[in-house]
A and B are shown apart, each in its own frame.
Chain A
Amino acid sequence: MFRFLLGRLAVLIPTFIGVSIIAFSFIRLLPGDPVALLSGERVMSPERHAEISHQLGFDRPIVVQYLDYLWGVLQGDFGLSIVTKRPVIDQFLELFPATVELSLCAIIFAVVVGIPAGVIAAIKRGSIFDQIIMGTALVGFSMPIFWWGLLLIIVVSGILQWTPVSGRISLMFFFPSVTGFMLIDSLLSGQEGAFQSAFSHLILPTIVLGTIPLAVIARQTRSAMLEVLSEDYVRTARAKGLSTFRVVGIHALRNAMIPVVTTIGLQIGVMLAGAILTETIFSWPGIGKWMVDSVFRRDYAVIQGGLLIIAGVIMLVNLAVDLLYGLINPRIRH
């Protein structure tokens, strides 16, 4: 297991260096003067330009600039936002829990609905259930989720008036952030109705963000299950006289889950990308909306820092998934 971890790290470190080079060169690839872009000052005298250029270190050799940047990054310094003048990492840490909360809810929704749906489709292969589940999954897989979100707002928030349209919680409630997760914080605050408000704000974004992972997980579960059900050990279990429930639930499902776990892990990257659209539609104050807003505000320092942090987080998550995969499937370690 230790060697497996070392092997993964040997790939991860050069990839992270490459990612940091991309983030570093991004600001220098932009059309226009990086000094003016980073300082946010449009018109400046040559003296002022030289001064800021010196402050930002642009008057040094490019390699020194990069190493300095990398050194800063390793110590958690991702630069200052041009608009708010606050450290990028602080803003990220403030907004990240909102995205994590939404993504966790979405992945739980996708797994809780997707795996049973896939199992049923596999057991009842070719039946009307199978056709309906797989048809729905294909529609979900093909869904433009930004439109799906608008549609749900029209029907559920507009016509039925069941859920609020945007945000994380009603403005009536105010309490200090303890964990950053609104569901937990609202419970801790002890205010009446706060949890219900936070929960109802989460429903639509969760469905929207969970739709594509749900479809992918259902399809993957079905095909993995079909493969396992034709194995000899499943036939043996059946021949032993075990009930279908036992055969499917204990013997088949466990082995079918191996590829599904990988799929779930891979969905996390998809989630963070999907969060860009979902958070924009529902004005969810997370990192997806933060990045989109920064693109529009031309806050290049945030884009540069955010890009690197998000890529770093995804790489760590993928590493964790790999390790987990090694634990549940010992064959992969060698």
Chain B
Amino acid sequence: MTEVTATTPISTDPSRRARLAEFWYYFSENRGAVIGLIFFLFLVLLAICAPLIAPHDPTIQYREAILLPPFWQEGGRAAFLLGTDAVGRDMLSRLIYGTRFSLFVGVIVTTLSLIGGILIGVIAGYFRGWVDTVIMRIMDIILAFPSLLLALVLVAVLGPGLTNAMIAIALVFQPHFVRLTRAAVMTEKTRDYVVAAKVAGAGHLRLMFKTILPNCMAPLIVQATLSFSSAILDAAALGFLGMGAQPPTPEWGTMLAEAREFILRAWWVVTLPGLAILATVLAINLMGDGLRDALDPKLKRS
């Protein structure tokens, strides 16, 4: 045993801290990724502290201040920095509260589809045979539909609303995680360390989730950031079609749907919620690109 410990310092330090440091080294080399991360953290802060930051209640209607432009335009008021919507609600406050819904959708959808996808994918890739065939056929069936169309129809079945929209989107995203996990598990399964663990007497569950799974995480993390941003886009799209969050919820897609009839009269009610969606999704995708560079061993120059 002492011989083993003596040789470890020569090889690369396998401790968690060293790996994190290495990850951060590659991640921080990508300037866009760092900007994305900073903006994302800002959004998280905004979402958590929304009641403290927002100048108004997002659902209060100021009847004497309908469709006011932002403060720098003629007719704007300092009390409503980004103007008001068609029923006199403060745009800025609604946008700030909207951060909560979008990030919430991203977190829930990604968690649901990631956990479900990992469970199913590990089982398919580990056991193979008919279990694998059945699972992959079912995933093919889900993937045969355009994702937004399937989500739309699922919401029509379950009833419109943010919760059902999240369930539908998570279900539609799941096959991507299943396929990735399965592929990764299949390549890892034949490696020596897995065989060694098996010989040492590890059971199926231990082999699947403690031995193999941690080595399959890199592509899953990249896919998770991608589905985080896609979930925000799809939930906003469903909201825009009237099948997601229902008014008066200050969800960005729903806000856009309500603003549609004013597009040629009041640019701010249409422009701002969309800009918020774009900025959020862009920040997450920038982070995703950085993560891919930092986690993908093919691109590493070591």
Contacts and interface: CB of A to CB of B under 8 A. Distances in A.
Interface string B112-147: 000000000000000000000000011011001111
B277 A295 contact: no
A238 to B, nearest CB: 23
Nearest to B146: A273
Nearest to B144: A311
A296 B153 CA distance: 11
A300 to B, nearest CB: 8
A240 B253 CA distance: 56
Interface in A138-159: 138-139, 141-144, 146-148, 150-151, 153-154, 158
Contacts of A141: 285
A110 B156 CA distance: 32
A158 B157 CA distance: 37
A3 B140 CA distance: 21
Contacts of A153: 263-264
A303 B156 contact: yes
B237 to A, nearest CB: 6
Given A11-B140, A29-B157, A142-B229, A150 B260 contact: yes
A273 B267 contact: no
8 contacts: A18-B137, A142-B229, A144-B277, A147-B274, A154-B263, A269-B146, A273-B148, A292-B152
A22 B240 CA distance: 26
A50 B176 CA distance: 44
Contacts of B60: none
Contacts, number: 120
Contacts of B145: 19, 307, 310-311, 314
Contact of A139 (B141, B236, B271, B282): B282
Interface-centre pick from A147, A148, A303, A314 (highest chain B CB count, 10 A):
A147
Contacts of B267: 154
A180 B137 CA distance: 36
B242 interface: yes
Interface in A25-84: 26, 29-31
A16 B144 CA distance: 9
Interface of A: 11, 14-16, 18-19, 22, 26, 29-31, 135, 138-139, 141-144, 146-148, 150-151, 153-154, 158, 269-270, 272-274, 276-277, 280, 291-292, 295-296, 303, 307, 310-311, 314-315
A36 B119 CA distance: 39
Interface-centre pick from A15, A146, A150 (highest chain B CB count, 10 A):
A146
Given A158-B264, A291-B152, A18 B278 contact: no
Interface in B276-292: 277-278, 281-282, 285-286, 289
A310 B237 CA distance: 20
Contacts of B270: 147, 150-151, 154
Contacts of B47: none
A19 B141 contact: yes
A205 B170 CA distance: 28
B149 interface: yes
B145 to A, nearest CB: 5
A303 B256 CA distance: 25
B239 to A, nearest CB: 10
A144 B274 contact: yes
Interface residues of B, number: 42
Given A26-B153, A295-B243, A151 B271 contact: yes
A273 B264 contact: no
Contacts of B281: 142-144
Contacts of A315: 144
Nearest to A159: B264
User: Which 6 A-B residue pairs are closest in the complex by CB-CB distance?
Assistant: A147-B274, A273-B146, A18-B141, A142-B281, A273-B148, A142-B282
A262 B253 CA distance: 31
A138 B141 contact: no
Interface-centre pick from B149, B285, B286 (highest chain A CB count, 10 A):
B149
B273 interface: yes
Contacts of A307: 145, 149-150, 153
Contacts of B152: 276, 291-292, 295
A276 B141 contact: no
B18 interface: no
A273 B144 CA distance: 12
Given A147-B277, A274-B148, A277-B237, 13 more contacts: A11-B140, A26-B157, A139-B278, A142-B278, A142-B282, A144-B233, A151-B271, A154-B264, A158-B263, A269-B146, A273-B146, A276-B148, A276-B149
Interface string B190-234: 000000000000000000000000000000000000000100010
Contacts of B144: 15-16, 18-19, 311, 314-315
Contacts of A151: 270-271, 274
Contact of B146 (A11, A138, A272): A272
B41 interface: no
Contacts of B147: 273
Contacts of A148: 274
Nearest to B147: A273
Contacts of A135: 32
A143 B273 CA distance: 12
A270 B146 contact: yes
Nearest to B284: A142
A277 B271 CA distance: 17
